[in-house]
Amino acid sequence: MNKTILFLVILTGISAQLPANMIGLLINKSITFNREEATKSILIYGDEDDAKLMNSMVKGELVSIDDFEGTQEYVNLIFVGISDGDIENAKKKCGKVLSISNSDENSDVVALSFGLLDNKRPKILVNLAIAKKEADFKSAFLKIAKIKDD
Amino acid sequence: MMKSFLLFGFVCILCAQEIPAKKLSSLILKTAYFNKINNDKYYIVQKSETAYSKELAKLLNAKVLDYNGFSGIKEYANVVFVDLSDKEIKQAKKASSKILTFSNKVENISVVSVVFGLQRPSKKIQIIANLSESKDEADFRSVFLKIAQRRK
């Protein structure tokens, strides 16, 4: 049993994450490239502290995963500290939304997710199969990771 | 204890579904076509030959390189890493000049530009682009964002 716990701890340790405020900035930048304008952003959280920090940038609505009842509006649905399964269930309660996660471990179930590269720069992942259904990104979005002095 | 590990292994096998070589080759060709940096060279880097990598090499008309003894690729090319770990891919990339990198394993998304897999349990095609890597490796046309779009 102890070994199983150790294994899970190691797995958790491996998944490095970008700071919440940095993800907030990247989300703001990303959504400007979407031609389909969302009415608002909803941050669905498992981790309230991270969600609050991220929301200081995003300026959306904070909802706990347990309280989320779905939406039929086109919104930016931002998952903070949520598992794949819970994200899938939350999306089932919604109409068309743009799904975003603060963790690259959710890249299978959201259009856009963020992580941290070895060199501590942001990792920006786009699930193109999901993104085609959820957004209409401008071509410049492909260069979102470009830094001016690159 | 043993049972937990066996169960975990079984779950991992169920989750990791490999995209058929024919579909993978067609998506790689399509992706390369969307790259403004023109090139028609394809390489496969692998540790051992399998029926899968053999078929893929044939479909892409790719040159096959063995990871053991790999000394890098010194021309701009489309490079598909087959069944390699993140660490091995990083080493291979370090030894190479600018290349556009792909993997047949979704788990390699941190170290390559584009990965392909199958979604579970629907088995729908999964295409994930790592924009942090692709900005250095390619110059994609906007239609690349619609690569998963089916023709109507």
| Reported ipTM | 0.84
CA distance B117 to chain A (A): 10
Asked if residue B43 belongs to a domain, the reply is yes
Which chain A positions have a beta carbon within 8 Å of B125's beta carbon?
129
Interface test with B, best of A2, A128, A149, A150 (most B CBs within 10 A): A128
**Residue A100 bridge partners (DSSP):** A78, A112
**Residue B102 bridge partners (DSSP):** B80, B114
> Which of B125, B128, B135 has its CB closest to that of A146?
B135
Asked if residue B127 belongs to a domain, the reply is yes
Residues composing chain B: 152
Contact B99, B86 (CB under 8 A): no
Q: Could you tell me whether strands B42-46 and B63-66 are parallel, antiparallel, or unpaired per DSSP bridges?
A: parallel
Highest mean pLDDT among A81-90, A110-119, B32-41, B139-148: A81-90
CATH class of A16-143: alpha beta
pLDDT averaged over every residue in chain A: 88
pLDDT of residue A14: 44
Residue written as token pair 């880097």: B45
Chain B's closest residue to A137, CA to CA, is B145
Asked if residue B135 belongs to a domain, the reply is yes
Tens digits of per-residue pLDDT, A7-59? 433 433 345 678 998 999 999 999 999 999 999 999 999 989 999 999 999 99
User: Distance (Å, rounded) from C-alpha A148 to C-alpha A45?
Assistant: 32
Residue written as token pair 């952003």: A41
User: Distance (Å, rounded) from C-alpha B139 to C-alpha B136?
Assistant: 8
CA distance B34 to chain A (A): 12
Count Cβ atoms below 10 Å from residue A12 Cβ, excluding itself. Answer: 9
Mean pLDDT of the B14-43 span: 88
User: Distance (Å, rounded) from C-alpha B122 to C-alpha B99?
Assistant: 32
Residue B104: give its domain's CATH number.
Answer: 3.40.50
Which chain A positions have a beta carbon within 8 Å of B1's beta carbon?
1, 3-4
> Count of A–B CB contacts within 8 Å?
80
pLDDT of residue A78: 97
User: Distance (Å, rounded) from C-alpha A92 to C-alpha A70?
Assistant: 8
Smallest CA-to-CA distance from A102 within A92, A93, A113, A94 is with A113
Q: What is the pTM of this model?
A: 0.85
Contact B106, B115 (CB under 8 A): yes
Structure token digits, residue B91: 């080493």
Flag if A108 and B126 touch (Cβ within 8 Å): yes
Asked if residue B44 belongs to a domain, the reply is yes
Half-sphere exposure of B139 (CA within 13 A, CB side): 6
Asked if residue B92 belongs to a domain, the reply is yes
DSSP A62: E
Which residues on chain B place their C-beta less than 8 Å from a C-beta of chain A?
1, 4, 106, 109-110, 119-120, 124-132, 134-136, 140-142, 144-149
Asked if residue B104 belongs to a domain, the reply is yes
* Structural domain that includes position B99: 18-146
Asked if residue B6 belongs to a domain, the reply is no
Domain total in chain B: 1
